[in-house]
């Protein structure tokens, strides 16, 4: 059973559904493994738990909002 795991910031339910659908579709096309064999795991991380270039994602978003 192949497992695809993605760690990312929080996203809405519709985006999750689209992500799961498209990741599965692409994996099936590439591997020829049936879709029902794939498990997709989305780990949502709080923006204060993601660091880029020495800043948290929350800090980056706040700076961009200014």
Could you tell me the residue ranges of all domains in the chain? 3-65
In the prediction, which pLDDT does 51 show?
A: 95
What global pTM score does this model have? Answer: 0.81
In the prediction, which pLDDT does 25 show?
A: 98
Contact 4, 38 (CB under 8 A): yes
* Residue range 3-65, CATH number: 3.30.429.10
- Encode burial over 33-63: b for 16+ CB neighbours within 10 A, e otherwise: eeeeebebebeeeeeeeeeeeeeebeeeeee
Average pLDDT (3-12) is 96
- Supply 22's token pair: 């498209």
- pLDDT, tens digit, for every residue of 8-64? 999 999 999 999 999 999 999 999 999 999 999 999 999 999 999 999 999 999 999
């Amino acid at each position: 059973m192949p497992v695809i795991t993605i760690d990312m910031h929080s996203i809405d339910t519709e985006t999750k559904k689209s992500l799961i659908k498209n990741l599965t579709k692409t994996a099936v096309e590439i591997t020829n493994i049936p879709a029902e064999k794939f498990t997709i795991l989305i780990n949502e991380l709080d923006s204060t738990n993601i660091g880029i270039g020495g800043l948290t994602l929350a800090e980056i978003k706040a700076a961009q909002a200014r």
